[in-house]
Amino acid sequence: MDYYQIRLQQNWMPKSKREPVAQSAVDLIKLAKVTVDEFFEIPMTTRDEMVQDLADGLESIFQEYTYFVASCGSRQSYLPLLPPLTRCNQDSRFAKLWKKATPCAPGADMKLLGMGAGGPTPVAAGGTPAGETHHPRPSTSRGTQRLYIRINTLHYLYSHIHSLDKSLTFFSRGGNPAHPGPSPNLHHHQKLRPNRRLTPAAHFDLIRASIQAAILHVSEVAAYRLIFLDSAHSYHSLYVGGVAGSRIRPSLRILKRNLNMLLTVLTDRAQPVAVKEVMRASFEMFLMVLLAGGTERVFVRTDYEMVMDDFRNMKRVFCASGEGMAAVLADEVVDRAAEVVEGVIGLMNLPTERLIEDFTIAACESGVAGGIAEWQRLSMPPTTGRWSRSDPNTVLRVLCHRNDDTANNFLKRAFQLPKRK
Give pLDDT tens digits for 317-370: 998 665 555 568 888 999 999 999 999 999 999 999 999 999 998 888 776 655
Q: Supply the pLDDT for residue 124.
A: 36
Band of pLDDT at residue 210, cut at 50, 70 and 90 = very high
Give pLDDT tens digits for 235-251: 989 999 899 999 999 99
Band of pLDDT at residue 2, cut at 50, 70 and 90 = low
Least confident of 41-50, 271-280, 282-291: 41-50
- Contacts for 323 with CB less than 8 Å, ≥ 6 apart: 256, 316, 317
Q: Supply the pLDDT for residue 90.
A: 58
Q: Supply the pLDDT for residue 321.
A: 61
Least confident of 43-47, 198-202, 222-226: 198-202
Q: Supply the pLDDT for residue 105.
A: 45
Closest by CA position to 164, among listed 204, 194, 209 = 204
Which comes out higher in pLDDT, residue 61 or 43?
61
Give pLDDT tens digits for 50-64: 888 888 999 999 999
CB 72 within 8 A of CB 147: yes
Alpha carbon distance 344, 309 (integer Å): 14
> How high does pLDDT run on average in the chain?
81
User: Does pLDDT of 85 surpass 50?
Assistant: yes
Q: Supply the pLDDT for residue 92.
A: 41
User: Does pLDDT of 400 surpass 90?
Assistant: yes
CB 322 within 8 A of CB 316: yes
- Contacts for 38 with CB less than 8 Å, ≥ 6 apart: none
Question: Where do the domains of the chain lie?
Answer: 3-72+145-193+201-214, 79-133+234-415
Alpha carbon distance 168, 121 (integer Å): 58
Share of the chain above pLDDT 90, in %: 56
Give pLDDT tens digits for 112-128: 454 443 333 333 333 44
Which comes out higher in pLDDT, residue 176 or 165?
165
What residues does 129 pair with on adjacent strands? Answer: 123
Alpha carbon distance 197, 272 (integer Å): 34
SS (H, E, C) the chain: CCHHHHHHCCCCCECCCCCCCEHHHHHHHHHHHHHHHHHCCCCCCCHHHHHHHHHHHHHHHHHHHHHHHHCCCCHHHHCCCCCCCCECCCCCHHHHHHHHHCCCCCCHHHHHCCCCCCCCCCECCCCCECCCCCCCCCCCCHHHHHHHHHHHHHHHHHHHHHHHHHHHHHHHCCCCCCCCCCCCCHHHHHHHCCCCCCCCCCCCHHHHHHHHHHHHHHHHHHHHHHHHHHCHHHHCCCCCCCCCCCCCHHHHHHHHHHHHHHHHHCCHHHHHHHHHHHHHHHHHHHHHHHHCCCCCCCECHHHHHHHHHHHHHHHHHHCCCCCCCCCCCCHHHHHHHHHHHHHHHHHCCCCHHHHHHHHHHHHHHCCCCCCCCCHHHCCCCCCCCCCCCCCHHHHHHHHHCECCHHHHHHHHHHHCCCECC
Which comes out higher in pLDDT, residue 367 or 187?
367
Alpha carbon distance 378, 198 (integer Å): 67
Least confident of 106-115, 266-275, 333-342: 106-115
Q: Supply the pLDDT for residue 69.
A: 95
